[in-house]
Structure 1
Amino acid sequence: MFVSYKWLEEYVDLDGMNPEILAEKITRSGIEVEGIEYKGEGIKGVVIGHVLEREQHPNADKLNKCLVDFGVDEPVQIICGAPNVDKGQKVAVATVGAVLPGNFKIKKAKLRGEASHGMICSLQELGIQGKLVPKEYAEGIFVFPSETETGTNALEKLALDDAVLELGLTPNRADAMNMLGVAYEVAAILGRKVKLPETSYQAGSEKAADYISVKVDDKEANPLYAAKMIKDVKIGPSPLWMQTKLINAGIRPHNNVVDITNFVLLEYGQPLHAFDYHRFGSKEVVIRKAFENETIVTLDEQERTLTHKHLVITNGSIPQAVAGVMGGAESEVREDTTMILLEAAYFNGQTVRQASKDFGLRSESSIRFEKGIDPARVLLAAERAADLISQYAGGVVLEGTVVEDHLDIKENTISLSTEKVTKVLGMSISQEEMVHIFEKLGFSVETSEVDLIVTVPSRRGDIAIEEDLIEEVARLYGYDNIPSTLPELTGFSGGLTSYQAKRRKVRRFLEGAGLSQAITYSLTNDKKATAFSLEKSFKTFLSLPMSEERSVLRQSLLPNLLDSVAYNLARQSDSVAFYEIGSVFYKVEEQTKPVEKEHVAGAVTGLWHKNLWQGEKKLVDFFVMKGLVEGLLEKLGIHEGIEFVQSERKELHPGRTANILYNGVLVGFIGQLHPFFEKELDLPETYIFELDLHELFALDVADITYTAIPRYPSVTRDIALVVSKEITSGQLEDVIKKAGGKLLNEVHVFDVYEGEHMEEGKKSVAFSLQYLNPEQTLTEEEVTEIHNQVLKALEDAYQAVLRG
């Protein structure tokens, strides 16, 4: 909701308060002011000029030579390229020395040999968006009313000296989607009174009921419909003050009648619609549900096919408007319109929402009906619009309003315990203070010793229960004024649970390793839902998804994480390293609720590290990622029982993939993304992993212990084994560790060779073995004995022989 500061001043005395201070007060009371736009900021030197003469530029077909008076000294010559500039017009002139948006400074100039002392400005050149400029001035300069005084400040006339506050309204605060609603809120905050607009017009001698009747077939969808008749209307521009208010609120001016309905919409929050009575085609208004496959051409000139779910305004037979959404083109107000049928109604929000969603039409009217309008303002808004049409369109308002009313307007009466207010807020507020707050809000209050009986006006439909009133007390009293207190607890000390501590370890380790945390949607599309899944599971579909791309609960973190990697690479990031800790959802049986489990996943591509001053670069590879996962598991205290087993997954590279098992149970996987998926996502070599934290955190592992640095020297022996190609280094390593016993301190692979000097079907795997006795120095005999045991065990298990 855009709120003009100057327009708001018409309803509440702001006493010259700085817009920044006002915005802070509104935000602190519960409605966030997301920003303030100072219209015309940085613009100066723009005045109203009077074009005294206009003639064709002698040297340019598309330029005009104008003599312009702007109230100071002698008239000056200005060269203007606008096609609609003409003699006698009042226009916005940027004088020499003026500054326009973008810090564009106006200087004396010569255009095709003719001097130009200023610039005649269009609204776009003054910073107004093109989509908000009236259509007749979209391709040229704006022409002010002839009575506008020459030489006056053009920014003031265009309301470009205003500040516009943008309110970020939550769905429950529909009451603030109009100027009066904001005025009530600001008046309560400042302790001021609201000045309501006055309505007064002289009704004509004829009666509206002689021209129109109203019949509502679906009283639930439309409990109140009112029609006013206005004749002798003259269609033309609306007054400049109204046009500028609409522009500052983000609405394009059209003509006086349409602008008045939009003005009242913004002022009262009540949508209205004006029909051309002579084009309406009947003396009766019938509101009903549409017939199946019935059609209407709406104001945007699109033909819409209706269903029985849509409520329409008809002339007894043909639809003339989709209720609450958009009018029909057939009966729209045009330049030759002379008689108006003015509609003011209360439509069911769900019915309007259905039509708005089906047609992809979300208008200012439909938004307000969906959120909820004040039923008490429906007829007041109709009277306000009729008054304005009589003033600014010369219309004669016929006597009376034709109404079909089945709307029961109730004001909520709620009993509030003062003791409960104290308990919920954790502080004592006097009953007198509570009464004062409710009265500032415009609520009526009856008091007793311990309770308040509060009657809430219909404009505040969000207040229905006792807790709502407590919230009103808190926010108007001031959240900052509520004291901070610590809870009184005995025999309790705070701390992380074991699960939380482990999750924090995971996060710290991965961030310490150089990965950045990503947070992605838990929802994905049907195609990606089962990709990379650790378990077989049925898909979990949303009943009412916002889009197809966010319609299924994910079974892996990786699809959305890889999208984030691709997004960043597409924006000139050559290396990306992301991780995510989040929930995945599995469903064992199709008709059951999904089970939520926490996983961690990582995706790394590009350079793992680079030392440019040393000319060193290292690309990420499988072993970098494996080392990362091993380090993470070690940080969690999971040393024994973990195996990396070569495997195949359709999403991963066939030769660079491993399942991660704990005591034979699958707890994750690691590998390179399959080249097909890399190409699909436009990624270079990318390495990924995913672990089931739900399983890993549940393991009962011993605490990490640290040992002193050994005092005695170690002995290192290297061996190169010739084995069958099918045997993995991990299998050999397991045998070495078992045979080496307690004295084998460390073992790792440092070379694998397959080549022309190797027997067919064989390979050479080289290990480095470190022996250590923490109690004493090892002797050569001890090392030899253990080493021979290792070689014997390898020969027995896999027929491994030392490479000669």
Structure 2
Amino acid sequence: MYLPIAWLKQYCPIDKDVKELADKITLTGSHVESIFKSGQDIDRVVVGKILSIEKHPDADKLVVCQVDVGQEKIQIVTGAPNVFEGAHLPVALDKSSLAGGEKIKKSKLRGVLSQGMFCSYQELGYDVSVIPMVFRDGVLILDESVEVGRPIQEVLDMDQAVLELEITPNRPDCLSVLGMARETAATFDLDLDLPKLEVEEDEKPIQDFAQGIDIQSPDCHRYYSRVLYDVKIQPSPQWMQNALMQSGVRPINNIVDLTNFVMLELGQPLHAFDLDKVKDKKIIVRNGQEGEVLTTLDKQERRVNEKDILICDGQEAIGLAGVMGGLDSEVTESTKTILLEGALFDAYTVRQTSKKFALRTEASTRFEKGMDPNSCKEAVDRLCVLAKDLGAAKVAKGSYDQKTKDFPEKTIHLRQEKANDLLGTNLSLDQMAHYLKGLGIETKEKSGGLEAKIPSFRQDLTIEEDLVEEVGRLFGFHNITPQPLKGKLTRGGKPASRNLEAKLKEVLAALGYNEWMTFSFMSPKAYDRLNLEEDSPLRKNVELLDPLGEEYSVMRTTLLADSLEVLSKNMNRKNPEAFGYEFGNTFSLDQDQDHLPTEHKRLAIGFYGDQDFYFLKHTIQRLFDRAGIGEITLKRASQGYLHPGRSAEIFVDGQSYGFFGEVHPRVLGNFKMKKRAYVAEVDFQKMVEAEKTAILYQDPGKYPSIGRDLAFILDEKTEIGQVKAIVLEEGGDLLDHFEVFDIYRGDSIDQDKKSVAFNMQFKSKDHTLKDEEINPSVESMIQRIQEELKGQLRDQ
């Protein structure tokens, strides 16, 4: 941002050296990038007045002018096409210097003496991008009221420096001259002279010209409008043109210049519509429609959609809200009636629109950072005041002000002790209140601190620490004496989740697994490839607003799709086997959290090769053993991506911890895999919560155990876990070990049956067991398995 010092002084009576000014406001948080004076190379260039013009005797394109330069009258030969008798213009005298160090001396042009030269904006050092179009191919013509003989630096404010500032994104209020004047006044403890905002209205009511505002878009929070009539389109006064050009903006005409001037002054973008071109004389603010086309002021057609905000009349779009106006309603030399727009648009929506069209304007730069909800009215009223003062228009009586969102007043309590502790200072409440008042923040003492009323232009102040920073930067962080850090030393360490993750990685590495890492986003097509049901909760994903492409457009709700993708790539690249795992986050939508995504850490395991389902089961058991969780119960799984007969769901104390098993053949085909593969997904966060870190010694006992083997013919659908549950319940404290050692299916057993054989070890801690002590338990087991599971005891 460019800050002309001449403009700054209109609101803040600063008389400091520009270097001191730059240093001080940099120390208080407004970083000055550079300081420059556009007229520092210029010497002996004054305002002259052409008294007479005669044709050059020997050149058709040259004229000879007699010029009054104050102290004397001189003769100048020129070829400038726009000179005329009575014109006031800059004159470079004999032995003068122009921008870039160019020297001007009197000389003869085609035999006629020329004692100087008329100057253009370019020759005075102005960039072509800010020069008014009327003067791009001729010399600069000044207002007739400018005093003859006056140095041109004073006339164009070139004797005043301009600061180039770097404004942080959280301080949109500083993207204005008034905002920086407030910072300067607070820094140097000066009074701030606010611009006049009281509008002097004329007799005609606004209803005679415009029929109101209709806000239909949820992205427009406020729209304030006034009407100017009997408009006179003409060049702006020189002081306004000076301010605009030094700020990097090209002057166009008085009305357009006023919108830019007030935007730079107050920070609020404005727009002026030619009301005679607004159909039905009303404004409708709505979102665009798919395929709708708007031609903007740069004469480019913009194809909008429902994510863009449009300003429309009764029939069509006339502006791209927050970015650029439409060509069909622009202000021209024939404009007589103007509708002024001051609005508050959603910052995110404007930023996305500006980015989509690669159309970054002064307006969008401000809107996308968040605006003061009250500046809409202030800026429109300020423009009306200036328009009246310049005699550019009359102001219709009344205004339209539509709001769709409330912005309640904010107050923050600042504690004196807290502020001094954070800053390392010993400031009084009066000092703190004084610093905050300089920034426009009113305070009153309350409960050992200050109750601060936050002005609407400081949307960045939300918590107590923000006020502490404001006090600190005005006191001067460089003035704070460095002190050693205070606090208690604590012993560092990893959280429980990191420790458990490291333990499980050791187990997996020992079993031959490698770690892989995949992206946290994936394609929504992965859910179909996983054979998930249409109502599966895994399909409720978080969509990315700005994805890298369709393949990475949603946040994953499961790790399995990525794991299968890794296995598929390895298999298709002819790797004979692949064993791997990943600890990663999944993201889900929780209705109880206002649709905010929830992160959940899980462990995925996958492999193909020489191992099978039982190796994966062994892996899962080892992991839970390492976590100290102990007994797990397995039940038949019903996930669509797993084989219905070779998969299991993991339970601990009745809670599901995950699934594992062979990949369903259909899913293998979806991932173009020709070999059997096995996967598992475990809820790692539940494992962290259930982990038992204490290592307890268990006496192996000095008395021998008694073993029993039983075998039953069971229905194929009967789960081993059901058998185990009965055995553990009937075995009681004497049962020391249970293990299934054989599952048989064959010719001697019916096709829908299986033979399950298991071993039990019984042991007592205080004596040698006898058969009579365990036989009742074994008989109860046999009876319950026969009755509850319809099992048939096999002969040993």
* One-letter amino acid of the structure 1 residue matched with residue 31 of structure 2: E
Partner residue, 2:398: 400
Match of 1:13 in 2: 13
Name the Cα RMSD after superposition.
2.8
User: Displacement, 1:367?
Assistant: 0.9
- Corresponding residue for residue 435 of structure 1: 433
Q: Deviations over 1:272-304 (max 9, x none)?
A: 111111112222111111111111111001111
Aligned to 1:274: 272
Q: C-alpha deviations, 1:579-625, integer Å up to 9, x for none?
A: xxxxxxxx9869779xxxxxxxxxxxxxxxxxxxxxxxxxxxxxxxx
Q: How far is the alpha carbon of 1:231 from its aligned partner?
A: 1.0
Q: What residue identity is the alignment partner of 1:266? A: L
Q: CA deviation at 1:259?
A: 0.2
Gaps of 5+ in 1: 493-534, 552-586, 594-804
- What does the per-residue CA deviation read over 1:734-778, in whole Å, with 9 as the maximum and x for residues that have no partner? xxxxxxxxxxxxxxxxxxxxxxxxxxxxxxxxxxxxxxxxxxxxx
Question: Which residue is 1:103 aligned to?
Answer: 101
3-state DSSP class of the match of 2:327? coil
Please state whether the residue corresponding to 1:143 is helix, strand or coil: coil
Cα 1:170–1:544, aligned 2, differ >3 Å: closer, same or farther? farther
Show the counterpart of 2:4: 4
- CA shift at 1:216, angstroms? 3.2
Change (3 A) 1:202 1:480: closer
Alignment of 1:239-258 (within 5 A): 239-258=237-256
1:30 is aligned to 29
Indicate which of 317, 320, 323 corresponds to 2:318: 320
Structure 1 equivalent of residue 132 of structure 2: 134
Q: Aligned partners of 2:198, 2:444: CA distance in 1, in Å?
A: 34
What's the CA shift for 1:374? 1.5
Give the deviation of 1:213 after TM superposition: 2.6
Would the aligned equivalents of 1:235 and 1:393 in 2 still touch at CA under 8 Å?
A: no
CA contact (8 A) 2:199 2:381 kept: no
3-state DSSP class of the match of 2:137? coil
The counterpart of 2:389, out of the listed 379, 388, 391, is: 391
Alignment of 1:257-656 (within 5 A): 257-487=255-485
Match of 1:60 in 2: 59
CA contact (8 A) 2:50 2:65 kept: yes
From the superposition, tell whether residues 125 and 188 of structure 1 become closer, same or farther in structure 2 (CA, over 3 Å): same
Report the secondary structure of 2:368's partner residue: helix
Please state how far the C-alpha of 1:396 moved relative to its aligned partner.
Answer: 1.4
- In the alignment, the residues of structure 1 paired with residue 208 and residue 420 of structure 2 have an alpha-carbon distance, to the nearest angstrom, of 59
Shift of the 480–96 alpha-carbon distance from structure 1 to 2, 3 Å rule, reads same
Question: Paired residue for 1:176?
Answer: 174
> Residue 545 and residue 110 in structure 1: after superposition, are their counterparts in 2 closer, same or farther (change >3 A)?
farther
For each residue in 1:652-674, what CA deviation from the matched residue of structure 2 results, as whole angstroms up to 9, or x when unmatched? xxxxxxxxxxxxxxxxxxxxxxx
Give the equivalent residue in structure 2 for 1:44.
43
Q: Which blocks of at least 5 consecutive residues in structure 2 are unaligned?
A: 491-514, 523-543, 553-579, 587-796
Structure 2 residue matching 1:300: 3-state secondary structure: coil
Equivalent position SS for 1:229: strand
- Alpha-carbon spacing, 1:488–1:389, altered in 2? closer, same or farther (3 Å): closer
- Equivalent of residue 90 in structure 1, options 88, 91, 95: 88
Distance 2:300 2:41 in 1: 41
Aligned-pair CA distance for 1:130: 0.8
Tell me, in whole angstroms, the C-alpha distance in 2 between the residues paired with 1:216 and 1:83: 50
Structure 2 CA distance for partners of 1:413 and 1:538, relative to 1, 3 Å: closer
**What SS is found at the alignment partner of 1:59?**
coil
Q: Which amino acid in the other structure matches residue 353 of structure 2? A: A
Structure 1 residues 76-122: Cα deviation after superposition (integer angstroms, max 9, x where no partner) = 22122322222221110010121112221211112222211011000
Amino acid aligned to 1:69: D
Shift, 1:161, TM fit: 1.0
In structure 1, distance between residues paired with 2:240 and 2:441: 31
Q: 1:314 to 1:157 in 2, by over 3 A?
A: same
**8 Å contact from structure 1 (residues 246, 263) kept in 2:** yes
Residue identity in the other structure for 2:13: D
Question: 1:362 offset after TM fit, Å?
Answer: 0.9
Matched residue count? 516
- In structure 2, the partner of 1:647 is none
Give per-residue Cα distances to partners, 1:26-55, cap 9 Å, x unaligned. 001111111111220121111111112223
Following the alignment from structure 1 to structure 2, what is the Cα–Cα distance between the partners of residues 237 and 260?
11
Distance in 1, Cα, partners of 2:334 & 2:275? 12
Q: Give me the TM-score of the superposition, normalised by structure 1.
A: 0.61
Counterpart code for 1:292? E
Go from structure 1 to structure 2 and tell me whether the alpha carbon gap of 1:481 and 1:591 turns closer, same or farther (over 3 Å shift).
Answer: closer
Corresponding residue for residue 511 of structure 2: none
Per-residue Cα deviation, 1:440-491 (whole angstroms, up to 9, x for no partner): 2221112135222111111111110011011011101111111012346999
Structure 1 276/424 Cα, relative in aligned 2: closer, same or farther at 3 Å?
same
1:411 Cα shift? 2.9
The aligned residue for residue 776 of structure 2 is none
1:214–1:225 Cα contact (<8 Å) kept: no
In 2, Cα distance between equivalents of 1:366 and 1:588: 47
Q: Secondary structure at the match of 1:206?
A: coil
Mean alpha-carbon deviation: is it higher for 428-437 or for 457-466? 428-437
Query: Relative to 1, partners in 2 of residues 1:547 and 1:37: Cα closer, same or farther, differing over 3 Å?
Result: farther
Go from structure 1 to structure 2 and tell me whether the alpha carbon gap of 1:134 and 1:490 turns closer, same or farther (over 3 Å shift).
closer
Structure 1 residues 488, 450: CA separation in 2 closer, same or farther (over 3 Å shift)? closer
Cα distance change of structure 1 residues 588 and 453 upon mapping to structure 2, 3 Å threshold: same
Identify the range of structure 1 (108-117 vs 362-371) with the bigger mean alpha-carbon deviation. Answer: 108-117
Cα distance, 1:252 vs. partner?
A: 0.3
Give me the whole-angstrom Cα distance separating, in 1, the residues matched to 2:421 and 2:487.
17
Structure having the higher Rg: 2
8 Å CA contact retained: 2:32, 2:163:
yes
Further displaced range: 388-397 or 474-483: 388-397
The separation in 2 between residues aligned to 1:491 and 1:346, in whole angstroms, is 49
> Per the alignment, in what secondary structure is the counterpart of residue 54 of structure 1?
strand
Calculate the TM-score normalised by the size of structure 2.
0.62
Residues 57 and 353 of structure 1, relative CA distance in 2, 3 Å threshold: same
